[in-house]
A and B are shown apart, each in its own frame.
Chain A
Amino acid sequence: MSILKVTDIQSNGTGFNDVVSFKNASGTENGTLCRAWVNFDGQGTVAIRADFNVSSITDNGTGDYTVNFSNSLPDGNYCLVATQGQNGNSNPNYVMTVKEVVNAPGTGGFTLTTNGATGGTADSDGVYVAVFR
């Protein structure tokens, strides 16, 4: 076994989508990196706590947010992994939805809603999203 200790690993291309690929000894790709993620507070003064490859979020209304990528992805066929906080257990049956019909995930970003137990949109104090492609 060998250990690679470096500060940077660079892909051969200069584009954001010229990603480094991870492969096993047979040359089969066996993993990808997260292409974007964001942790934000959707209540009060909506604010991003931390992110990668996210230029902004847009507060569209109650529990309705658009995540905008700094660097576009190659297409909209990425996988979103998302969850949200429970707001002190006062409304614990939260679910999240991605607005596929109104605003399909695109190369530049996507829109999601956070919903309360009664089915309507509700603000969440913690929204956590990761994007893989």
Chain B
Amino acid sequence: MATYNYENKRVIFDNGEGGVSILVPSPNCELSLEQIIDKDIPAGRSKDTLEASELPTDRTYRNAWTKGDRQVGINVEKAKALHKDKIRAVRDPLLAAEDVAYMRADEAGNNSEKNAVRARKQALRDVTNIVDTATITATDVNGVTAELKAVWDADVLGDNPL
């Protein structure tokens, strides 16, 4: 029986929820690509066959990807929401550490330090606002990803892990 090699082919299709799924064919399958598509992609979905090299490789905001016309697109608002989650993941332990600092300042009766902690905590709470106000000019996945990853307040959050 013949085997086919579609190692470098990818089929993007509408996942039915506004996003995109990407079918990765087996490198050695006894089914043709058309047979695999018919079997493994739900009927009625918009789909395009691309080269693997045409897909974005930075998956930082993968869950914001969309099915474009023969390309993968990105929902900027969803990507921004994902970016906020990434900021929150870094922020949460910093807030917890400030809680400890506040308790210590309170126990020591150090009001100036308590005020400083209050200010730092407020800055941490507000830090996701920079995502809302960020202007993203790119429209393609790679461009949006690069611009969004740079939206980071290192003074408040420390080094950018993205």
Q: Which residues of A contact B (CB under 8 A)?
A: 40, 43-48, 50-51, 54-62, 66, 68, 70, 108-109, 118, 120, 123
Q: List B contacts of A58 (CB < 8 A).
A: 21-24, 40-41
Residues on the A chain within 8 Å of B85, using CB: 120
Give chain B residues whose Cβ lies under 8 Å from the Cβ of A70. Answer: 26, 29-31
Number of A-B residue pairs at CB separation under 8 A: 74
Contact between B26 and A55 (Cβ–Cβ < 8 Å)? Answer: yes
Other-chain residue from A54, A59, A109, A118 in contact with B89 (beta carbon distance below 8 A): A118
Chain A residue numbers with a CB within 8 Å of B89 are 118
How many B residues, CB 8 Å from partner?
27
When distances are taken between beta carbons in the complex, the residues of chain A under 8 Å from B23 are 56-59
B63 and A61 contact, CB distance less than 8 A? yes
A59 touches B22 (CB 8 A): yes
B41 contacts which chain A residues (CB < 8 A)?
58
B62 close to chain A: CB less than 8 A: yes
Decide if A55 touches B39 in the complex (CB within 8 Å).
yes
Q: Which residues of A contact B140 (CB under 8 A)?
A: none
**Cβ-defined contact, A108 with B39, below 8 A:** yes
Inter-chain contact A60/B15, CB cutoff 8 Å? yes
B143 at the interface (CB under 8 A from A): no
A82 to B84, CA, bound (A): 31
